[in-house]
Amino acid sequence: MEGKVGKAKMAKSKSYNWGIIATGAIARQFSIGLNFAPGAVKYAVASRELQKAESFADEYGFRKAYGSYEELLADPKVDIVYIATPHQFHTENTIAALKAKKAVLCEKPFAVNAAAAKEMVKTARENNCLLMEAMWTRFIPAVQKAKEMVEQGEIGDIRMITGDFGYRTEVGVPDRIYDPAACGGGLMDVGIYPVSLASMFFKEQPEEIQALAEIGSTSVDELSAYLLRYKGGELAVLYSAIRT
C-alpha cells in the first residue's frame, strides 16, 4: 500500500524543463543541485560558445546544448531559465527570458541598482511570468526554522539584526571581484546576503540607510558597513568584506 501511494504522488507531480544560461562555476553548482529538485528536468544549456555548452551538457546531463542564449530562449520546451551570467548582465538576460515567456530564477545579485530591478519586475508582471532571485540562504533549514520561531512569537519582537559575510582574497584574484565594470566589490558579492537577511525578517524597506566603505586600488568596495533604521526604530547592523 505504501508503495502504491508513493507512485501515485509521483505520477501527479509536474516536471519542468530547466534551461541554464552561462556555464561558469555557479552554473555547475546549480546543475548538481538540480539533481535533488523534485520535477526538475535538465533540459538545455546555452553558452556564447557552442563547444562549451556541449561540454557542459555532457558533464552535467543536459539534453540539449545551444551556442547562443537566444536559441535557448526560442526553444518552446524550456519552462524555466536559470540566469548564471556575471552581475552586469543579469538585467539584460532576465528581461530577454521574460519576454520569451519563460519563468526566471536569477542568480544574485538580482540587479545592480533599484532602477534595473524595477524594470525586471515590471517585465515579469507584463508577461505574467515567475521571477525570483536565487537567494539560497533563505532556504537553509536553520534560517527557515528561525523565521518560523519569529513568526510564532517564540522570541518576541525583533529589535536589532546583525549580520556579516566576508572573506579575504588578494587584490585582483579573482578578477571579476575587483573589476568595477563587472560590478565587483564586497556589497554585490557577499554584502547582499546580510542585507537580504534583514529584509527577510523585517519585511519592509528601511526608512534610513547609512553606509561607509573602504574603496580599494581598483575602485571597488573592499570593506563596508551598513546601518539600516526601520519605521519602528528597529536597526540592522551589517557588514561585508573581500579583503578581511
The grid coordinates of residue 37 equal 529538485
List all residues 6 or more positions away from 239 whose beta carbon is below 8 Å from its beta carbon. 163, 164, 166, 191, 194, 223, 224, 225, 226
Residues 68, 70, 75, 79, Cα dihedral to 10°:
100
Identified catalytic residue from 42, 52, 108, 118? 108
Residue 108 catalytic?
A: yes
Could you tell me how far CA 12 lies from the centroid of its own chain? 29
Contact (Cβ atoms closer than 8 angstroms) between residue 139 and residue 173: no
Classify each residue of 204-224 as buried b or exposed e, where b means 16 or more C-beta atoms within 10 Å of its C-beta.
Answer: eebeeeeeebeebeeebbbbb
- Helical H runs in the chain? 2-12, 25-34, 50-60, 69-74, 90-99, 114-126, 141-151, 186, 192-202
Quick one: angle between helices 25-34 and 50-60, nearest 10? 30
Upper half-sphere CA count for residue 141 (Cβ side, 13 Å): 0
Q: Which residues contact 83 (CB under 8 A, 6 or more apart)?
A: 21, 22, 90, 93, 94, 97, 104, 105, 106, 107
User: Would you name the residues annotated as active-site residues?
Assistant: 108
